[in-house]
Structure formats: structure tokens, C-alpha cells
Structure 1
Amino acid sequence: MDTSPPTFASKLKKKIKDFGPAFFIIGYVVGTGSVTSMVVSGAKFGLSLSWALLLSCFFTYFLLISISKLTIVTGDTLMFLFKKNFGKPITLFIITALVVSIISSVIGVMGVVAEVSMEWIAVKTSISFLNKPAIAALFTALLIGLFWTGKHENFIKAMSVMVGFMALAFVFTSFMVIKESGKSIVDFFPELPIGDNTGLIIAGIVGTTMAGVCLASRSILVHEEKWGLNDLKKENKDALSAMVMTFLISLAIMISATGTLYFKGTPVDDATDLMAALGPWAGDFALTLFTLGIIGAGLSSIFPNLLLFPWLIADYSNTPRNMKRPLFKGIVVLVALTGLIVPFLGGKPVWILIASQALSPFVMPLITLFLIILLNKSQLMTSHLPKLGMNLALGATFIFNCYMLYVALVGFIDFVH
């Protein structure tokens, strides 16, 4: 029997494994959608909408620990519990809403990735035979090929490293912006203009942080980790780590955009406008760094999106998540192909992506309400019913989600008109 003390590498590997679900959330949330929403928000409104980011991270924490506890105590995943307790029609409605969010996100993300990549190629190279459809087709084929062969883990790790570099670049840029802008902190919080897609951007910020799909997948990940009642403290720490990191990185992106775009009055209408947010720290390298980061964030967030639809089906039917099933393979390919819509047919990927994030608030009040009901069912939770403080927190989360639903509705009406 080996009694030698564990090495630093083995300790680090165990820590990373313990916080697997947290890294999934951070990697999924802090992706192209988050970068786009935070940059557009900072460019248009400074830090005036940072309250939406703070509150969405705060309330998402309570949703994460509640969903995890429900999964651990009952041994069942979220959509299966919804079906068993509230019926098939309403559960299928929730899944349909989540699938619409998944597909619209893939459409928007691939549009942004193709546009940013094309800009880098045009500026940095002399290649003339590539265009946005060709780039999107290449990335889509890569993702489908990686899924089909099952050799995607190292690719996702490489993409995560690229996202990490971009996140660090935004953190450095945010410090530089605050130090060198010559503005007081009050100037970072200007008064909001009337209209100007404010509601849609607020809903996008909340939707990318409190993502319904991400919350549903939390239950699946906790189930796969085989966490038990002894792991509740670990699960709480995991959820807290995920939300704190998500808030800090997202805030850094918003601060960077405020200093580099808002104070200069630079609008963000196209994906290529996002690149200027890294200008002060990275200089001429900003274009390359941002392009690599957006490609990494985009592909590493599209890949889980390809898997989430089959995961939801398996969750609903309480069957193994066997991704080799022909049905699941077909679904993955179809979802991946939707990413070609914007590059081939045109459109504003920035606003398509923000709109896709803003869809999440439409289903969150229902998910939160069902979660509160299930957590307070004594036959389900036995001796693990939530205390008064948790019920109050979830009640406040429900009210916040209802308000965000109203904001999203108004935002979409204003956007259409």
C-alpha cells in the first residue's frame, strides 16, 4: 500500500476535480455572450447597469445551492422532478424555452466568432479566399468532428486557456482604465438615457449570468459527480466560487468597456467594435488577443450548448446520458448547423446574441417557483427542508425574476419598434 504523501500536482488535480461544476459554470457563463453583453453595457451606459450583474450573481448563488441540494437529497435531476411533480406539458414548455435559448445562443455566438475572425484575417494577413461563411463552416465542422470522435477534452482545455488569457487581459485593462482615465468613480456611473435598448441589455446581462440552461445543467453535473449529503458544504463553496469569479470577471469587462469605449463615445454595433475594449492594455496586440479569446470563448461555449439539448432529453426521461445514441448525435449535428445562419444569411450577431441571452428571464420565474415548491415538500426533502432564511432568499429571487421578465418583455418590444 502506497503511504507516500500526495504531491502538489495530485493535490491541485483533486482541487480542480472537486470544483468541476464551478468551472463548468464559469466557462459557460463567461463566454462570448457574457463578453458581448458586458462590453455593450459598458460602452453604452458605463457601470450604471452593474447592479443587474451584482443582483443576478447574488440570486443565482441561491438557485445553484438549492438545485444542488434538491438533486442530492432526492437523487433525481431537475427536469425529471418537474415532470414527476408538475406534469409533462409544463415541463416540456420549460425544456422548449431552454432549447430556443440554446439554439439562438449558438446562432449568435458563431456569428460573432466568424465576424471577429474575419476582421483579424483582413487586418493581420493577406488571405483573400476566406469569408465569414467559410470560417463558420470550418469551425462547425471542427466541433461536429470533435463530438463525433469523442476527442474534445483537450480541445476544450485549450479553448479554456485562451478564454483565461482574455479574462486576465480584461482584468489588467480594468485596473489601467481606473488608474489612467482621470475620471472620478462617479463618472463611471452616468445617468441612463431613455430607451436605447436599455431593457434588452439589462435582460441580456441577467440572462447570461442567471442562465436557465446553466441552472438545469447544474442538476445534471451534481448528479454525475455523485455528490451526497456529506458534500453539501463542498457544493455551497463550489457555487459561491463560481458566482464570485463570474461577477469579478464580468465587472472587469464592463469597467474596461467603460474606460475604452464609453468615455470616448464609441458605439458598439458590430462584433468588430468589441475589440477596442482591450486597447489600452494590449495595444496593437489587442486585436489578436481579443480574437483568440472570442474564438476560445465562442467554441468552448458552443460545444456544451450542443450537448445540453440531449442532456435535457435524458434528464426529462430519466435515462442515461449516452451521447452515442443516433438520436442524440443527430440533434447535436442539427444544433451545430444552426450556427451557419448568420454567416450565410446575414444579420447583426451582437444584437442576436444579446437577444438570445435576454430570452432566459422568460422561463426563470417558473423554474424558481417550482424549485421553491419542491424544496418545501416534506415527502421529497424529509428532514432537509429549507430554513426560513433560504425561503426568504428564494422568495426574493422569484420577485427579481418576475421583474426581469417584465424588463425583458419591454426590452423586446422596444427593440422590435
Structure 2
Amino acid sequence: MTSPSRSLSERIKKGLKSYGPAFFIIGYVVGTGSVTSMVVSGANYGLSLSWALLLSCFFTYFLLVAISKLTIVSGETLMFNFKKAFGRPLTIFIITALLVSIVSSCIGVMGVVAEVTMEWISVKTSISFLNGPIIAVFFIVLLISLFWTGKHANFIKAMSIMVGFMAFAFLITSVLVVKEAGTSLLDFFPELPNRDNTGLVIAGIVGTTMAGVCLASRSILVQEQGWGVNDLEIERKDAMSSMVMTFLISLAIMISATGTLYFNDMPVDNATDMMQALGPWAGDFALTLFTLGIIGAGLSSIFPNLLLFPWLISDYSGTERNMKKPLYKLLVVLVALSGLAIPLLGGKPVWILIASQALSPFVMPLITLFLLILLNRTSLMKEHKISVWMNIALMATFIFNCFMLFVAFKGFLNFL
């Protein structure tokens, strides 16, 4: 006879497992890129760009549902479906664009992690022999060794706990900021200044939420989950929960930065400028908490990035995702080593990271258009073709993605 406590434990584990893809989405999206984009947006523009966060979460929900349904009904992953339906050249173009996004993200994230860690070391310790490249090498060697030995599960859990503490701190800080602001809520939405980087920040907010790489991996995770047509309702709830949590945490970060940085006229230009965003709640511990959170968010988002390119190749070729293949191991090492770019060559990691997030809108219109075509093919979807309302939602998503492509392109022109 099963004890009540064990039965409850099993139900909890089963529930968590059924929402596995949602936790992956939240863990991947709410990383260093998201924290950076939201803090910069809040510090420089208040909540004036929160519309971009809301719309990106709203439209990403429909993309998650669409990708999951295509994978479940067809039994094949996204890139494999694209290759069969639209040919190799276009699919390789999408994979190449996603690879650029993966590498640029690793470069930006490791740059931010190294700069924030160095600032903490210089403020909190008397250590003088460390520098950015040494710190970056340490983290890269750690990630590669964890991948090589396969002993990364507990490490990722530990990093996720650190990120969770930081997210909780931002939630608390956002409540305190609104409560103690002593000003109208309308003051949180100032008029946008005429700054050259506004378009890039908007594209970065959308790119970090509607991440092309994350959406492509959604198909792989759904297939590994073993969901069938009877699980379509679970899949929709999973997508909804991931986007609601992503929006709430990201908005909390933006509100915190507005109250602590924007109202104090402290715009963010460097990674170290972000470290005051938790000041009101965490006090003297804010620096350490933010540093631990950024390290956790950075390493826990870089590690999946190391795996995603081999995953995409397996997705495209329809082969087993065997990460022990020599080619895959080599690709993981090369992507990891790209993280040395900023510590060795220099640059502003905050804006390089935001620019890397802003690359995602360049490929999203094509992915959305392909999804629309495939989900309406009777030969592929049979009786599971999408409804009129889903068609309208995806068409609206396509228009939004085209608009964001224009914003991103204009933002890059101004940035460069």
C-alpha cells in the first residue's frame, strides 16, 4: 500500500515532469540576456518599453503552441519538418542564423559574467591577481569539463537555485519600489528620449523573450517528452505557464531597475552599472546577491547554448542526439571558447549582449511563415489543422515579427 506522503511526492514529481519544457523555457529565457535587457530598459527608459515585453510574451505563446502541435502531430522535429517541406538551403539558412545567435549570446553572456564577477572581487576581496580573461577561462573550463564528464545535472540545479533567489529578490524589490516610490504610477512610464539605442533595446527585449533558438529547442523537448495528440491540452497549459512566469519575472526586473536606477538618474552602460538594481531590498548584500544571480543565470544559459547547435544538427538530419560523437564534442568546445572574445579583446558586454538578443528578430518572420504553411497542410496535419482563430493569431505574430525585424535592423544601423 502506497503511503499518502509518498503518493503526494510522486504526484508532485509527475506534475513537474509534465511541465518540463515550461521550466526549460523559463530557465533559458530568464537568464543573463533577459536580466541585462530588462535592467537597461528600466534604468534608461522606465517602463516605457514594457509593451515590447508584453507583446513578445503574448505572441511567443502562440509560437510555442504551434511548434508543439506540429511536432506532436507530425512526429518530427521542427528543422526536420522544414527540411522536408521547404528544402535544405532555407533550413540551413535558419540553422546558420540560429548558430550566429548562439555564439553571439555566449560571447555577450560570458562578457557580462566576467565583468560583474571582477567587480565583486575588487569590492569585496583583496585579491589582485585575477582579471577578466582568467575568470572567463575558469568558467569555460568548468562548463566544458561538466559536459565532457556528463556530471552537469546537479550543477545546473545549483545554478537554477541561484537564479531563483535573484528572481525572488527582484520580485520583492519591485513591490517595494512601487510601494515606496512616493510618485504616481504614470511616472514609471516617461516619454521616450530620442536616443540612438532605443530600437536596439526594444529588439533585445523581444529577442530575449521570443528567442529563435529557444523556440527551435521547444520542438526537441516536446519530442523527448513523448507527448501525443491526447496531450495537446497539457502542451497549451505548459506554454501558457512558461510565458506568464517569464512576463512576471521580467517585468519585476524592469520595475526594480526603474525605481532604483531610473528615478536616481543612473543609466546603465556597463555591466557593473546594473549591480545597484537590488539596492533597496538587499542592502549591502545586493552586490553579492546580484553577482551570484548573474553567474547562475549566465552559466545555466550558456550550458544549453553549448548543446543547442549539435541538437539542431541532429534535428535537421533526423538522427539520434548522441552528444558523445567527436564532432559534437568539438562543436561544444568551439562554442564555449567563443566566450573569451570580450575578456580578451575588450568591448562593452552589456550592449554586445543586447545586440546578440536583437539578432533573433531577423529569422523569426521566416520561422513563423513556415509554421503557418505547415499547420494548414491537410497531408501533414490531417484532422488536426489549426483553427481560424489560431491562423489569425499566427498571422498577427507574423506581422509583429516583420515589424520587429524593421526595428532591429534600424537599431543595428544606429548602433553601428
Same fold (TM over 0.5): yes
- 1:344 CA displacement: 1.0
- Provide the residue aligned with 2:21 in structure 1: 21
Query: Partner of 1:194: helix, strand, or coil?
Result: coil
Match of 1:343 in 2: 343
TM (normalized to structure 2)? 0.99
Amino acid at match of 1:340: L
Quick one: which amino acid aligns to residue 51 of structure 1? W
Shift of 1:90: 0.5
C-alpha displacement of 1:307: 0.2
Match of 2:90 in 1: 90
**1:181-200 alignment, distance < 5 Å:** 181-200=181-200
Deviates more, 1:126-135 or 1:72-81: 126-135
How do 1:351-362 and structure 2 match up within 5 A?
A: 351-362=351-362
Structure 2 unaligned residues grouped into runs of 5+: none
Per-residue CA deviation, residues 370-413 of structure 1 (Å, 9 max, x unaligned), is: 00000000000000011100000000000000000000000000
Q: Aligned partners of 2:267, 2:49: CA distance in 1, in Å? A: 17
Residue matched to 2:364: 364
Distance in 1 (alpha carbons) for counterparts of 2:285 and 2:9: 33
In the alignment, what sits opposite 1:223? Answer: 223
Letter in 1 for 2:305: N
TM-score (norm 1): 0.99
CA contact (8 A) 2:196 2:411 kept: no
Spell out the pairing of 1:365-384 with structure 2 (5 A cutoff). 365-384=365-384
% identity of equivalent residues: 77
Report the equivalent of 1:134: 134
CA-CA distance at 1:152 after TM superposition? 0.2
Distance, in Å, in 2 between the alignment partners of 1:195 and 1:269 is: 13
- Tell me which residue corresponds to 2:330: 330
The alignment partner of 2:265 has SS state of coil
User: Contact 2:375/2:381 (CA < 8 Å) preserved in 1?
Assistant: yes
Contact 1:115 1:271 in 2 (8 A): yes
Structure 2 SS opposite 1:338: helix
Task: Name the SS of the counterpart of 2:384 in structure 1.
Answer: coil
What CA deviation, in whole Å up to 9, does each residue of 1:124-170 have, x standing for no partner? 11111111100000000000000000000000000000000000000
For the residues of structure 1 that align with 2:340 and 2:67, how far apart are their CA atoms? 34
Q: Which letter maps to 2:233?
A: K
Query: Retained in 2: the 8 A contact 1:195–1:414?
Result: no
**Structural mapping, 1:43-122, within 5 Å:** 43-122=43-122
Following superposition, the deviation at residue 195 of structure 1 comes to 2.7
Q: 2:222 and 2:67 mapped to 1: Cα distance? A: 9
> Alignment partner of 1:127: what SS?
coil
- Of stretches 193-202 and 276-285 in structure 1, the one that deviates more from structure 2 is 193-202
Shift of 1:226: 0.7
Q: How far is the alpha carbon of 1:10 from its aligned partner?
A: 2.1
CA contact (8 A) 1:47 1:258 kept: yes
One-letter code aligned to 1:233: E
The yes-or-no answer on 1:165 pairing with 2:202 is no
After TM superposition, what 4+ stretches of structure 1 lie above 4 angstroms from structure 2?
2-6
Q: For residue 298 of structure 2, what is the aligned residue in structure 1?
A: 298
1:209 is the counterpart of 2:217? no
Check conservation: 2:212, 2:360, Cα contact below 8 A.
Answer: yes
Q: State the distance in 2 between where 1:309 and 1:315 align.
A: 10
CA offsets per residue over residues 346-372 of structure 1, 9 Å max, x none?
110000000000000000000000000
Aligned-residue CA RMSD in angstroms?
0.8
Q: In structure 2, how many angstroms separate the alpha carbons of the residues matched to 1:253 and 1:54?
A: 14
What is the identity, as a one-letter code, of the residue corresponding to 1:254? M
Q: Once the 2 structures are TM-superposed, how far is the Cα of residue 4 of structure 1 from its aligned partner?
A: 4.7
* Paired residues for 1:228-239 under 5 Å: 228-239=228-239
SS in structure 1 opposite 2:171? helix
The 8 Å contact of residues 162 and 293 in structure 1, kept in 2 or not, is answered as yes
SS of 1:382's partner is helix
- The separation in 2 between residues aligned to 1:13 and 1:180, in whole angstroms, is 39
Contiguous gaps of at least 5 residues in structure 1: none
Q: Is the CA contact (8 Å cut-off) linking 1:177 and 1:256 kept in structure 2?
A: yes
CA distance in 2: counterparts of 1:24 and 1:347, whole angstroms: 30
The letter of the residue matching 1:200 is L
CA distance in 1, matches of 2:25, 2:56: 14
How far 1:196 sits from its partner (Å)?
Answer: 3.3
Q: Distance in 2 between matches of 1:45 and 1:9?
A: 45
Structure 1 residue 267 displacement after superposition: 1.6
Q: Deviations over 1:82-139 (max 9, x none)?
A: 0000000000000000000000000000000000000000011111111110000000
Q: For the residues of structure 2 that align with 1:372 and 1:15, how far apart are their CA atoms?
A: 31
Residue 340 of structure 2: SS of its match in structure 1?
helix
Q: How many Å separate the matches in 1 of 2:192 and 2:22?
A: 33
Is 2:35 aligned against 1:35? yes
